[in-house]
Structure 1
Amino acid sequence: MTHVEHPRRDGVVSEFFAGVRTLLGGFGWWRVRPGLMLLGLVPAAVVSLVLAAALVTLGFWIAPLAETLTPFANGWDAPWPFVVRIAAGTAVFGAALLLSATLFTALTLLIGEPFYDRIWRGVEAAEAPDEPLDTDGGFWAGIADAASLILRGILAAIIAFAVGLIPFVGGALGAITGILLSGWILADELSGRALTVRGIDHRARRRMLRAHRARAFGFGVATQLCFLIPLGAVLTMPAAVVGATRLARDVRPPASATPGAATSST
C-alpha cells in the first residue's frame, strides 16, 4: 500500500487558516463568472427554505420534546429538572442544526448537480486546463454520495447530541464537536468530485485529506460556520464548490505519485 506523505511546511495553525483562505478565495469567482455563480444560488435557496421551515417547526416543539426525553427528571428537586431539560433541548436543536447543514449540502449537490458541475468544470478549465479528467458521472453515483453524506451527518449529529447532554458545558462542547465533525465531512464530500475525476477512490481520497488534516479542517469548519449564518448557506455554496475544487489540488500528491495513490487500496 502506498501512503500519501507530505512534508509539513507550515504549522498546524497556518495550515488551518490556509484552508479558511481556500474557502474565502472561492468567493473571488463572483468576479470571474458572476452569471455561473448566480445559478448556483438557485438550488441552494430552494433547499434552504425547506430546511429552515423544518427548523422553525422543531423550535416550536422543542420544549415538549425535551420534557418527553427526560421523564426521569420529573421527581427531582428544582432547579434540576429545568437544567436537564434545557440541556436536552439545546442538544436536540444543536444536533438538528448541524444535521441540517449536512442535509443541505447533500440535497443541494444532488438537485443542483448541473449547476455545480458547470462551476467546478469552469474552475478546472481555468486553473488546470492540461490535466486529463474522467468526467463521466451518473445520477446513481450522485444518489449514493448524497446517501453516504446524510448517514455520516446523522452519526455526527448523534455524537454532538450525546455530548450536548452534559449539564452546563454540554451546549458548548456539543457545538464544538458537531462543527468539527461536520466540517470534516463537508471537506471530504465537497472535494470528492475533483479527486474522483482523477481516478482517486474514496479510501485514497481520505488518506490525502488526513495527510493535510489541518487544511481540510480549516476549509470544512469555515464552510460549516458560514452555513450556520442565516442565508449563509445559500451565499456560500457556490464559493464552497470553487474552494473545494482548489482544496482537492492542494491535498493531492505530486503528479507522479497520483496513480499509486489511486490504486493503493485495490
Structure 2
Amino acid sequence: MSDLGAGIGYVVKGQRWVLGHGKWLGLGLLPGLITLVVYAGALVGLGYGADDFVAWVTPFADDWSSPWLGLLRDTLTALVFLFGLFLAVITFTAVTLLVGQPFYESLSEEVDRTEGGDVPESGLPFWRDLWISARDSVRILVRVALYGVLLFAAGFLPVVGQTAVPVIGFCVSGYFLCEELTAVALQRRGMVLKDRLVLLRGRRLMVLGFGVPLALAFLVPFVAVFLMPGAVAGATLLARDLTAPPPQPAPEPASPYTLRKDRGGPA
C-alpha cells in the first residue's frame, strides 16, 4: 500500500511544484481552456441527443407498457452519457497534451532541471515528436474504448453493474490517464509505448494512486484545466522515480579475520 500512497503524493507534489513556479501555471491554462470549450460543447450535444439515440437503437421497445419502456430507455440514456463522460476524461488529457505539446515538454524539462540530474531530450524534430505522441494516444484510446465497451455491457448486470463496474471504470481511467501524462517525460527518455506500459505495469498501485484521483478531479471541467500543469509536473516526478536506477547496496565491512589475513597475520 506504500506505492498507492506514493502515487497520491506525486499528485500533491506536482501541484505544489507548479504553485511554486507561477509562470508555468499561468501559461499552462490556455491549452486546457481550448480543449475544455470543445469538450463542453460535445458533452452538451450528447446530453441533448442521447435519448434520441437510445430510442433509435431500441425500436423493439416502442410497444412496451409503462414503466418498462421508460426504465429501459432512461437507464440506457444514462449509460450512454456515462460512457461519453468516461471517454472524455481519458481523451481530454491526450488532446490537451497535443494542443500544448511544446509547452508541456518545456514544463517537464524544467521539472527535471530543478530536481537535479540530467535533463533528457528526445533529439527529434518537433513534428516527429508530435506525430509519435498523436499515434501513441490513438493506440491508448483504442485500448480505452475496448475497456469502455466491456464496462458498458457489464453495466447491465444486476448489482455488479451499479457498484463494481463504476469503480473498475475509474481505475481504468486513472491507469491510462497516468500513461498519457507520464508519456511527456518518458518519451523524452527514449521510451516507446510498449516499454512505457511494461514500466507502469511493474508499479500498478503507484500508477493508480496517481491516476485515479486525477481522473475523479477531471470530472469537474474547470478543475481539470487548473490541475493540468501540475499533473504534468507530478507525472514527471513520478517518471523520475520509475526510471531511477536501483540503489546500490552498501559494501559489507571487512571482518577482523580478513584484515589479519590481508596483513599477513594468522589465518
TM range (shorter): 0.7 to 0.9
Name the Cα RMSD after superposition.
Answer: 2.2
Given the alignment, which residue of 35, 43, 59 partners 1:71? 59
Greater mean alpha carbon deviation, residues 209-218 or residues 194-203: 194-203
Say whether 1:164 aligns with 2:118.
no
Looking at structure 2, the residues matched to 174 and 67 of structure 1 have their Cα atoms a distance apart, in angstroms, of 24
Looking at structure 2, the residues matched to 80 and 108 of structure 1 have their Cα atoms a distance apart, in angstroms, of 41
Distance 1:29 1:256, change over 3 A: closer
Asked whether the 8 Å contact 2:104–2:229 carries over to 1, the reply is yes
Read off the aligned partner of 2:228 and give its amino acid letter. Answer: M
**Correspondence 1:172-251 to 2 at 5 A:** 172-251=163-242
The TM-score with structure 1 as length reference comes to 0.83
Q: Deviations over 1:64-110 (max 9, x none)?
A: 22222333333444322222212211111001001112221111111
Looking at structure 2, the residues matched to 250 and 150 of structure 1 have their Cα atoms a distance apart, in angstroms, of 25
How far is the alpha carbon of 1:194 from its aligned partner? 1.8
| Structure 2: runs of 5+ lacking an equivalent | 249-267
| Structure 1: runs of 5+ lacking an equivalent | 1-10, 258-266
Which of 1 and 2 has greater Rg? 2
Distance 1:233 1:102, change over 3 A: same
**Correspondence 1:44-123 to 2 at 5 A:** 44-123=32-111
Looking at structure 2, the residues matched to 173 and 74 of structure 1 have their Cα atoms a distance apart, in angstroms, of 31
Asked whether the 8 Å contact 1:180–1:221 carries over to 2, the reply is yes
Distance 1:141 1:41, change over 3 A: same
Give 3-state SS (helix, strand or coil) of 1:254's partner.
coil
Read off the aligned partner of 1:214 and give its amino acid letter. Answer: L
Aligned counterpart, 1:136: 123
How far is the alpha carbon of 1:172 from its aligned partner? 4.4
The TM-score with structure 2 as length reference comes to 0.82
Looking at structure 1, the residues matched to 139 and 184 of structure 2 have their Cα atoms a distance apart, in angstroms, of 14
Asked whether the 8 Å contact 2:19–2:25 carries over to 1, the reply is no
Give 3-state SS (helix, strand or coil) of 1:228's partner.
coil
Asked whether the 8 Å contact 2:185–2:236 carries over to 1, the reply is yes
Say whether 1:28 aligns with 2:16.
yes
Asked whether the 8 Å contact 1:87–1:164 carries over to 2, the reply is no
Looking at structure 2, the residues matched to 141 and 161 of structure 1 have their Cα atoms a distance apart, in angstroms, of 30
